[in-house]
Amino acid sequence: MAEFGGGSGRQTEEHDGTKSRNVPEPVCAAGDPAVTVPRDRWSSNHSQKKKLVLHVDLNNTILVSDAVTGQGTVSALDYFLTTVTWGKMNKHGKWEWLSDAPSLLPPCGDAVSYYSQFGRIPGFTSAAGQRFRGVLKEHLDLLRWPEGIKGDGELSVKGEDGRLYHWILPSFFYLLKDLVQEGREFAILFRTFGTDLPRVLRAVYRALNEGAHPLFPDLPDLKLNVNMTPGKIRCSKRGTALSRAEDRVSTRDGERGLYHYLSSVQGLGGFQDHFDWWASNTFSIRGGKPLWVDPFDQHVQHIFIDDNIRQNDEDTIVNPKVFLDPDGDETRIACTSELYDITLVQTDLLRAISDPNYFTQRIHICLENYERNLQQGAG
């Protein structure tokens, strides 16, 4: 029986400037410094027959802003740093830093993120997190809209400091170009709790159909379609329902229906997920954005990319449901660590800003880990 497991030997990245290779999965990583990989590195050795369906979060994944909280580029990036900087309360009740570099994973077992300890604190790098001020400035500079080019109402945004920034990360558009260049069949589904989805769809449409992005004037050559109608996914104790325009699919008719629907989508589109359901489930895996995974499907692979994916199932944002049998309807909720870097990608926003290869790189790591786990399960 094909199944996933969280065993050692899963491919991760060692950031020593060399290529990825099999290493034991670390229990705790000391840091995750950026590494720039040559763009021609990602010529694909994976099966070209498998379709990819990429579920992509918006805020702090491909956007550095948040319409719901009113955060602009500067404050959104400042806030993100509170979630990837680590310390602990010492025996005197004072905060003690345990790392001088941001990282997705804690530097040791008893470390907690600044955000976990203190919550959402405005002006983090101007006060308690002043040691990370340089990181903020460096990545804001990388986000700057091209100098001398007029801002675009959909694709650029003015920050709180009055400067123009990219609204959608360039690394996202590089991903689209890479997938087309590889000859892959793929679809992109934006998945967000927020309210930015209509604008994102408009901005992506302008870039892909009108050549409006100054860094990517050739995007219309990709021939990618954008479904401009935002959909909704709503959850309750009775099940999950998806709607978009005239489409209606519900788990009341079985889990397979939703899986088949999401596997069959074409081009780019998006759905607003159910924030209130996540909140009512204490922001845990049980109320997260649903993702159906079929380890028996040789034709489609789903991958979810979100900054709030965490290996603590009581504090994570995706609810992965793995089918137990080929063509069956029964699923189990898989823990995040089981599918981490296989079908779940925790966005490293700093690297997504600094490395144009970032999303392509993460997708390829997932493809290799997915195939490796299927082979191990079959064996």
- Tens of pLDDT, residue by residue over 61-120, are 999 988 878 899 999 999 999 999 999 999 999 999 999 999 999 999 999 999 999 999
Cα–Cα separations (whole angstroms), residue 67 to 60, 272, 333: 12, 14, 31
CB of 303 closer than 8 Å to CB of 318: no
Does residue 9 have a pLDDT over 50?
no
pLDDT digits (tens, 9 = 90+) for 309-358: 999 999 999 999 999 999 899 999 999 999 999 999 999 999 999 999 99
pLDDT digits (tens, 9 = 90+) for 115-166: 999 999 999 999 999 999 999 999 999 999 999 999 999 999 999 999 999 9
Note the pTM of the prediction, 2 decimals: 0.88
Of 12, 80, 62, 27, nearest to 270 by C-alpha is 62
Half-sphere exposure of 375 (CA within 13 A, CB side): 8
Q: Classify residue 155 by its DSSP letter.
A: T
User: Across 220-355, where does the E strand assignment appear?
Assistant: 231-236, 239-244, 247-250, 267-272, 289-293, 300-306, 318-323, 331-333, 344-346
pLDDT digits (tens, 9 = 90+) for 184-240: 999 999 999 999 999 999 999 999 999 999 999 999 999 999 999 999 999 999 999
The 3-state DSSP class for residue 47 equals coil
Q: Write down the pLDDT at residue 68.
A: 79
Q: Write down the pLDDT at residue 70.
A: 84
Of 138, 196, 129, nearest to 167 by C-alpha is 196
Of 141, 155, 160, nearest to 71 by C-alpha is 160
